[in-house]
Structure 1
């Protein structure tokens, strides 16, 4: 019972952090309860494989996001810009 409460609390907090997915606090709490129940029935090798897979997926996602966002060049105010030099 305590595991379900802790799972619900963690799911609620996680759902509030990732509000872009459309899952509210109650939905996150429900997912936390389900996750706690599923993890209790999994074997240790399956848990390790799930954790490693999540880590790899996160790294791949971050790498793809870094490729999508262009790097910005910062121009200091002391340098002349082409429009300022022409004026």
Structure 2
């Protein structure tokens, strides 16, 4: 289960980082893979940090749409 969860969070982190420049594509996937590897090595703390990053970005996006 942990492997699947780390892949999902890694993909979400890569997508969020790739949305900054707006180009999309391979760069986000590569960054997501690197982030996933780093999160796995950090253990549960890395998973929590990755999930918190994605949640914060989603919260900020929702907040800006409502404003």
Q: What is the TM-score of this pair, normalised by structure 2?
A: 0.48
Greater relative CO, 1 or 2 (CA 8 Å, sep 6+): 2
Structure number with larger C-alpha Rg = 1
By percentage of residues, which structure has more helix?
Answer: 2
